[in-house]
A and B are shown apart, each in its own frame.
Chain A
Amino acid sequence: MPIPSYRLAPVVAAMAAFVALATTSPLGQQPPPTPQQPSELELTISGEPGTPPKFAVPDFVALSGDAETQAAARAIGAVLWDDLQFEREFYMIPRDTYGSIPSAKSFQEVPFDRWLELGADGVIIGFVQRTGTGVTVQVRVFNVRTRTSVFAKEYSGAASNPRLYAHTVADEVHQQQRGLRGVARTKLTFSSDRDGERAAGGVPNRNVKEIYVADYDGANQRRVTVTKALNIFPVWSSDGRALAYTSYRRNNSPDIYISSIYQGTPPETPLKGRGQNWLSSWSPDGTRIAFTSNRDGNAELYVMNRDGSNVRRLTNHPSIDTTPTWSPGGNEIAFTSDRSGRPQIYLIPADGGVAPRRISNESWADRATWAPAPYNEIAYSALIGSTNNIRIYDVASGERRQITFGEGSNESPVFSPNGRHIAFMSTRRGRSHIFTIGRDGKNLRQITTSGNNYTPDWSR
């Protein structure tokens, strides 16, 4: 069994070690499944033909009487339901419809008749027990019709962040049942002025922005920077352990900073203030960073190694070239240039050398983001009508579609690591907030609720 890797840090919840323990499934004890299916398919729960499987996730059962264990049990069930709902691979039966179904007393005593009556194809049963300083969480996914367990795991760890157990189960269930890489354990980063701190220097009305991180669903929002300066455009490293961002903390001049957010070490400044540098974008393999700089007189694109070595210029044009983003393979860069008069999206090989190819045709386009395989798509923010909206460009066909339609200003899209979702900033509910939305424009979720929040990035 792989041991999930966890991010432990001063800034992000102090999670104690969290280890997947013995997960040998006691499936052998179960009666053999009804024999009309080939054995490889036995573990996949299906729904009625043409419809997604219907799943239920009742509250997990606390086997210990203390309040923390009971709260953890309740939280895990609710969060797991939410995580599974997010990917829309299952029809998640609303939790308030099965409050009257009695809890399972053990994995051997599940009231399958009631779950069948409810119409569930699958039900996820869990038990939470206090063990020493932490908890043990046992989870099984049952095929309601065959009454067999198709997934059985046990996790041990701290009780302080029960959501992490739910996220882990959700990712593993998505992988096992649907062959899908879930995003329940990924994180978002963004900048926010929520603390209302003012910039130094006497000029009135200047709220600083600081960098924050949050779980993909908006839980556990934590501040990363404490500088009382402008900190903007954070992006995740490929391993999710560092953030690169633009900060004005030194001499009120923008430069690229890298914070290893789980180590408590001072941020690195690979460019050490040479020129003004902003809008970093990390290559998919984590070795290089593309950024914008005016070091040669006007805004151009540059690429450097992570440690600041080997800075090389990628564009050379008297117009503005900015906002770089890498293709998933790291061989191309999409960026914004106003060489045609207004800002538009262009593609260029990551090694340069070829004239950029324009792909947008709106009156203003910026902040391209490239979806990973199997989606060869680029989303960007474009001025359509009187507001900015999110458009998605299919690189192969050249077709464009739109997923926001004038509800406030919609900017700074970024794809989730599985390409199925987009995080973006929108003013649709008044202030500037971070939202996530499906790549089909459905399933909108609001991530932030306080202050103004900008320019999200989604960890890999």
Chain B
Amino acid sequence: MTVPTPIPALARARGAVVILVVLALVTAACAKKQPPIARPTPPPVTASAGSDSATTARPPAPPEPVRETPPPAEPTLTDEGNLGSRSLDDLNRESPFQAVFFALDADTIDAAGQAVLSANAEIMKRYASWVVTVEGHCDERGTAEYNLALGERRALAARNYLVSLGIPGERLRTVSYGKEFPFDPGKTDEAYARNRRAHFVVTAK
């Protein structure tokens, strides 16, 4: 629903990456003496499709085509020391946590979701002082009002699973944003699948 012009949104999300892409376009375009294309291609949709794509949809990771020229400064998940020293805003801008995805109008955590939550739990165990907010989100097709409660149910489901993996409940809070903060503003099944998610935000460290 929220469809801001993709350029600032992308630039903010992946500044360095976008610059590289634009530079490449500019170079190519210059040869043909045409103005550069101002709009980079949108992030690609990974192989999955359909409402079941939730099980295979990728978390908000850097998009595929720019992998060849990754920004050199980007930290990796195994860069433990760096993670611990980063500010909350930096941590949440490029989160070490992966999102859990849900099927339409559902709050069930499938096998893929369980694997993601296990990985997230490991990170929380490694950084034992972190307090994490589990956010529940929905795609735009449902109504805004009901979706706020649906998102809450998704957040609770993810939180309860993390507790079952041994994360103390007091380190986990939940909040629902319904369909207010879509990750992908697109109007495709793939975009919807990426928006039906539990997202993890570090709120204290």
Which residues of A approach B to under 8 Å, CB–CB?
193, 196, 199, 201-207, 209, 230, 232-233, 248, 252-254, 276, 278-279, 292, 294, 298-299, 320, 322-323, 336, 338, 342-343, 364, 366-367, 381, 383, 388, 409, 411-412, 427, 431-432, 452, 454-455
Contacts and interface: CB of A to CB of B under 8 A. Distances in A.
Interface string B151-192: 011001000000000000000000111001111010000000
A323 B2 CA distance: 22
Nearest to B60: A204
Interface string B90-103: 11110100000000
Nearest to B5: A196
Task: Categorize the interface residue count of chain B.
Answer: 35 or more
Contact of A205 (B13, B140, B203): B13
A279 B185 CA distance: 24
B4 interface: yes
A232 to B, nearest CB: 7
B9 A381 contact: no
19 contacts: A202-B87, A203-B92, A203-B93, A203-B95, A203-B199, A205-B12, A205-B182, A206-B181, A207-B4, A209-B180, A299-B152, A322-B149, A323-B145, A323-B146, A364-B146, A381-B143, A383-B141, A432-B2, A455-B144
Contact of A342 (B105, B175, B176, B180): B105
Given A202-B88, A202-B91, A342-B105, A279 B180 contact: no
Given A201-B92, A204-B93, A205-B13, A364 B142 contact: yes
B3 interface: yes
B133 interface: yes
A366 B175 contact: no
B144 A454 contact: yes
B175 A411 contact: no
B145 A193 contact: no
B68 to A, nearest CB: 22
Contact of B144 (A196, A199, A232, A364): A232
A423 to B, nearest CB: 15
A255 to B, nearest CB: 11
Given A292-B149, A336-B145, A338-B146, 11 more contacts: A204-B9, A204-B93, A252-B203, A278-B148, A279-B148, A342-B105, A343-B143, A343-B146, A364-B105, A364-B142, A412-B144
